[in-house]
Amino acid sequence: MNKIKLNDKEFQISIHSDKIQSVVKHVANQISEDFRDKDVPVFLSILNGAFMFTADLFKYLSIDAYVTFVKFASYSGTTSSGKVKQLIGLNEDLEGRNVIVLEDIVDSGLTIKQLSRQLDSLNLKEYKIASFLHKPDACEEDIKIDYVGMEIPNDFIVGYGLDYDGLGRNYKDIYTLISE
Ligand code: IMP
Ligand code: MG
């Protein structure tokens, strides 16, 4: 399928699933190398968007790993609301552990910034951020992402966990909004 329609909007395919899988595999290999001789890391996945990236990345890891989840929401329709709501909080004791945050996409950077502030007070051993996608042109916050799968233009996308008003998360390819 080259085009999809979700509610009132049309989207055009922009990143194919074979490309997505090779990028995720590459990130998993990098993390596996970096953490092979360290304490087993805890992957902290940010729901909802990162569920698919997290599941695929986990299958490609060649080290032991823990996983836990938090849930944030900031988007409304096709734009960031500028506010981040925390819907499920941290319920794992992370003190003294190696933590790798997993995000589907860093856009304005607000979500990562808010989570970083919480993690700063927890006395972690090591803290890294891995994001499948990054929109460098949209990024307002000054944040360092340790593992970036791909950089993409500042367009609205869906698929591979990413949604438009809750729809589109189930596609294995990524689609870009066709501007009206
Ligand atoms: P940020 O806080 O602005 O960096 O964005 C955080 C969240 O907004 C991401 O984790 C996504 O879930 C969502 N988001 C950002 N850009 C897009 C997009 O193009 N399509 C769908 N969701 C997006
Ligand atoms: Mg997200």
Which pLDDT tens digit goes with each residue over 89-131?
A: 888 889 999 999 999 999 999 999 999 999 998 999 999 999 9
Secondary structure (3-state) at 180: coil
pTM exceeds 0.85, yes or no: yes
Parent domain of 104 = 18-151
Q: Is residue 37 part of a domain?
A: yes
Q: Is residue 165 part of a domain?
A: no
Q: How many domains is the chain partitioned into structurally? A: 1
Q: Is residue 109 part of a domain?
A: yes
Does any ligand 1 atom lie closer than 6 A to the CB of residue 145?
A: no
Known catalytic residue at 18: no
Taking phi first (over 0 means left), then psi (-120 to 50 degrees means alpha), and beta for anything else, what does residue 27 get?
A: alpha
Q: Is residue 1 part of a domain?
A: no
Taking phi first (over 0 means left), then psi (-120 to 50 degrees means alpha), and beta for anything else, what does residue 16 get?
A: beta
Residue 79 sits in a domain whose CATH number is: 3.40.50.2020
Among the atoms of ligand 1, which is closest to the Cα of residue 138?
3
Q: Which ligand is nearest to the CA of 133?
A: 1
Half-sphere exposure of 77 (CA within 13 A, CB side): 5
Model pLDDT for residues 34-89, shown as the tens digit of each residue: 999 999 999 999 999 999 999 999 999 999 999 999 999 887 788 887 888 888 88
140-153-16 Cα angle (round to 5): 135
Q: Is residue 117 part of a domain?
A: yes
Q: Is residue 5 part of a domain?
A: no
